[in-house]
A and B are shown apart, each in its own frame.
Chain A
Amino acid sequence: GAVVSQHPSWVICKSGTSVKIECRSLDFQATTMFWYRQFPKQSLMLMATSNEGSKATYEQGVEKDKFLINHASLTLSTLTVTSAHPEDSSFYICSARDASGRSDEQFFGPGTRLTVL
Chain B
Amino acid sequence: QKEVEQDPGPLSVPEGAIVSLNCTYSNSAFQYFMWYRQYSRKGPELLMYTYSSGNKEDGRFTAQVDKSSKYISLFIRDSQPSDSATYLCAMSAPRGSTLGRLYFGRGTQLTVWP
Please report A residues at the B interface, Cβ cutoff 8 Å.
4, 6, 34, 41-44, 46, 49, 91, 93, 95, 101, 103-111, 113
Whose C-beta in chain B lies nearest to the C-beta of A97?
B95
- Assembly CA distance A93 to B88 (angstroms): 14
**Cβ-neighbour of A110 out of B42, B104, B106 (below 8 A):** B42
B43 and A43 contacting across the interface, CB-CB below 8 Å: no
- Assembly CA distance A33 to B34 (angstroms): 18
Contacts of A101 in B (CB 8 A): 95
Contacts of B46 in A (CB 8 A): 105, 107-108
| Chain B contact residue count (CB 8 A cutoff) | 24
B window 19-65: CB within 8 A of A: 32, 34, 36, 41-46, 49
Contacts of A34 in B (CB 8 A): 101-102
Q: Mark B71-114, 1 if CB is under 8 A from A, else 0.
A: 00000000000000000100010110000111011110100000
